[in-house]
């Protein structure tokens, strides 16, 4: 039931109560009928005006439990994060991802492949990945660490694809097998994993997502490329190819 409807209902009830009270007073009083009716009418109108003012003030007040609308734009750091494509591309897309997120996997299998072919491989777009492992996914943090360790051997994108393909089996022993499939040197990879040196990086990404009020994965920020921070439109969810291409094309056109 909408708030405006509830306020209208309260207003109607108040009118009914006031009229009933004034009518009762009229029946009890035996003085000048015309004068009494005129006074009652003025009183009712005054009280109704006061009720309406009060209801309008209540409606303007922020209501508890009602979330403000999400912003349409966001900013994200890109320095030192895994990136694909031309470093001098005019447009950068930043992706906040979780390797156990089914929607992230769906995006990887469909939309991302098409975007890569048409924009990343052609040098028009640089794609940057930030981590946002959700607390409901118990293996997502370890998978994110593994992806960073793969990046040290320039195998980030190869392992990323395998992680999404096997996201229901991301236990450490399984990820070791995926790393081998990706051609990652095992000793250096294991040393990196055991060092936990990317824990802080992952937590910084999570904190940054929180500051930008990013609450779900995948979420994307599309903007004009800059060295360290990208600001632009926020796209939430595994949206269709056209949602991304229209925004990318608009930004590329501005660069002409």
CATH code of 170's domain: 3.40.30.10
Is residue 130 in a domain? Answer: yes
215-234 confidence digits (pLDDT tens)? 999 999 999 999 899 999 99
Query: Residue 89 pLDDT more than 90?
Result: yes
Q: Are 30 and 121 found together in one domain?
A: no
Range in 29-43, 130-144, 173-187 the model is least confident about: 29-43
Is residue 66 in a domain? Answer: no
Domain edge (last residue) among 60, 87, 108: 60
219-224 β-sheet, strand order: 73-77, 229-236, 219-224, 91-97, 125-131, 83-84
Model pLDDT, residue 21: 47
Q: Are 42 and 123 found together in one domain?
A: no
Angle, helices 156-165 vs 140-151, to 10°: value is 150
Q: Are 77 and 179 found together in one domain?
A: yes
Residue with more model confidence, 183 or 50? 183
Mean pLDDT of the region 226-243:
96
**Distance in angstroms (rounded) separating the CA atoms of residues 20 and 14:** 10
Q: Are 214 and 251 found together in one domain?
A: yes
Phi-psi region of 189 (alpha: psi -120 to 50; beta: other; left: phi over 0): alpha
Query: Residue 62 pLDDT more than 60?
Result: no
Range in 29-38, 107-116, 129-138 the model is least confident about: 29-38
In three-state secondary structure terms, 177 is: helix
Model pLDDT, residue 30: 46
Is residue 68 in a domain? Answer: no
**Distance in angstroms (rounded) separating the CA atoms of residues 105 and 142:** 17
Mean pLDDT of the region 27-48:
55
Question: pLDDT band for position 70 (50/70/90)?
Answer: confident
Residue with more model confidence, 160 or 24? 160
Dig out the tokens for 76 from the structure.
Answer: 């994200």
Q: Given the DSSP bridges, would you call strands 91-97 and 73-77 parallel, antiparallel or unpaired?
A: unpaired
Is residue 67 in a domain? Answer: no
7-24 confidence digits (pLDDT tens)? 555 555 555 555 554 554
Helix H, strand E, coil C: the string for 105-174 is HHHHHCHHHHHHHHHHCCCCEEEEEEECCCCCCCCHHHHHHHHHHHHCCCCHHHHHHHHHHCCCCCCHHH
Domain edge (last residue) among 60, 82, 98: 60
The position carrying tokens 């098409």 is 114
Range in 48-52, 86-90, 204-208, 213-217 the model is least confident about: 48-52
Model pLDDT, residue 255: 78
Is residue 65 in a domain? Answer: no
Q: Are 113 and 229 found together in one domain?
A: yes
**Distance in angstroms (rounded) separating the CA atoms of residues 26 and 243:** 67
Q: Are 47 and 118 found together in one domain?
A: no
Model pLDDT, residue 71: 87
Mean pLDDT of the region 37-46:
61
Closest CA to 134 of 179, 100, 180: 100
166-187 confidence digits (pLDDT tens)? 999 999 999 999 999 999 999 9
Model pLDDT, residue 26: 44
Q: Are 22 and 113 found together in one domain?
A: no
Number of domains making up the chain: 2
Is residue 205 in a domain? Answer: yes
Q: Are 51 and 145 found together in one domain?
A: no
Q: Are 41 and 98 found together in one domain?
A: no
Q: Which domain holds residue 19?
A: 3-60
In the chain, the largest separation of any two C-alpha atoms, in whole Å, equals 104
- Alpha-carbon torsion, ordered 82, 85, 88, 89, to 10 deg: -120
């Amino acid at each position: 039931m909408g708030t405006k409807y509830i306020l209208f209902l309260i207003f109607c009830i108040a009118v009914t109560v006031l009229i009933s009270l004034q009518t009762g007073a009229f029946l009890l009083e035996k003085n000048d009928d015309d004068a009494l009716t005129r006074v009652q009418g003025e009183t009712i109108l005054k009280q109704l005006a006061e009720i309406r003012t009060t209801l309008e003030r209540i409606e303007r007040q922020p209501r508890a439990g009602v979330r403000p609308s999400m912003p349409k734009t966001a900013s994200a750091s890109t320095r030192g994060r895994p990136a694909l494509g031309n470093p001098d591309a005019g447009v950068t897309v930043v992706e906040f991802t979780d390797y156990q997120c089914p929607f992230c996997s769906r995006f990887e299998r469909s939309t991302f492949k098409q975007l890569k072919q048409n924009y990343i491989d052609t040098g028009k777009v640089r794609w940057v990945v930030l981590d946002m492992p959700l607390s409901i996914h118990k293996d997502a943090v370890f998978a994110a660490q593994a992806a960073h360790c793969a990046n040290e051997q320039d195998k980030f994108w190869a392992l990323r694809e395998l992680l999404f393909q096997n996201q229901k089996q991301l236990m450490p022993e399984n990820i070791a097998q995926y790393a081998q499939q990706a051609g990652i040197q095992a000793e250096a990879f294991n040393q990196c994993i055991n060092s936990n040196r990317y824990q802080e990086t992952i937590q910084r990404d999570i904190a940054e997502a929180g500051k930008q009020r990013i609450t779900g994965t995948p979420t994307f920020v599309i903007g004009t490329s800059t060295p360290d921070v990208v600001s632009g439109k926020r796209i939430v969810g595994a949206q269709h190819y056209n949602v991304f291409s229209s925004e990318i094309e608009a930004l590329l056109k501005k660069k002409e």
